[in-house]
């Protein structure tokens, strides 16, 4: 509970600045209830541009979850302490096999336990600057993404994607 940060690591070949596309990227998470420890049965999608009402006029949040077991209501909000529009995973970080934070979320009453990168990401050629705007990643596709940079005549890829959730 509290603020959690989502950090990623991947092996980038001839590309840099990997990031999810759009402020309305649908972030797929696994959640766990902070009260009874029940896991949400499904992956849930959280979109920073969406708001849902918290019951009892307690305002709005990007995501609201009522635990089916203990019936408590929890909420999650993207936190502005990390500017997602500037957060990218770079070739340098990849070379050093470092994790880098790409989002911070404030979780009230629950925790995020896993992240699935499922969706469209973008990156660009490290030397060529060629833009790749349709980088599909997913836990279901552990082989990652591969393409070819026509400008630099080099293969490009995003492999070995990993993520971790930690206190921010
Ligand atoms: Zn619960």
Tell how far the Cα of 66 is from the centroid of ligand 1, in angstroms. 8
Q: What is the CB-side half-sphere exposure of residue 53 using CA atoms within 13 A?
A: 3
Closest by Cα among 82, 81, 43, 45 to 63: 45
Q: What is the pLDDT of residues 115-129, one digit of tens each?
A: 999 999 999 999 999
Residues flanking ion ligand 1, Cβ below 5 Å: 33, 35-36, 38, 67, 69-70
The Å distance, Cα 111 to ligand 1 centre, comes to 11
Does the pLDDT value for residue 57 go beyond 80? no
**pLDDT the model gives residue 116:** 98
Q: Which residues pair with 118 in a beta bridge?
A: none
- Region 141-162 average pLDDT: 95
Whether 1 shows a pLDDT value over 70: the answer reads no
At 141, the pLDDT band (50, 70, 90 cuts) reads confident
Mean pLDDT of the chain: 96
pLDDT tens sequence across 3-45: 999 999 999 999 999 999 999 999 999 999 999 999 999 999 9
67 Cα to the center of ligand 1, angstroms: 5
- Cα–ligand 1 centroid distance for 61 (angstroms): 18
Cα 41 to ligand 1 centroid, rounded to whole Å: 12
Is 70 exceeded by the pLDDT of residue 133?
A: yes
């Amino acid at each position: 509970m509290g603020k959690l940060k989502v950090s990623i690591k991947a092996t980038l070949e001839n590309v840099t600045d990997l990031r999810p596309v759009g402020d309305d990227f649908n972030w797929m998470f696994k959640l766990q209830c902070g009260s009874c420890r029940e896991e949400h049965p499904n992956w849930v999608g959280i979109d920073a541009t969406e708001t849902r009402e918290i019951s009892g006029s307690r305002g709005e949040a990007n995501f609201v979850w009522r635990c089916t077991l203990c019936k408590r209501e929890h909420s999650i909000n993207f936190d502005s302490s990390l500017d997602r529009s500037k957060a990218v995973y770079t070739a340098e970080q990849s070379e050093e096999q470092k994790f880098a934070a790409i989002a911070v979320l404030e979780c009230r009453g629950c925790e995020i336990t896993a992240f699935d990168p499922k969706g469209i990401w973008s990156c660009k050629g490290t030397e060529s600057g060629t833009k790749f705007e349709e980088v599909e990643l997913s836990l279901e596709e552990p082989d990652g993404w591969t393409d070819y940079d026509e400008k630099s005549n080099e293969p490009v890829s995003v492999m070995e994607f990993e993520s971790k959730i930690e206190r921010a």
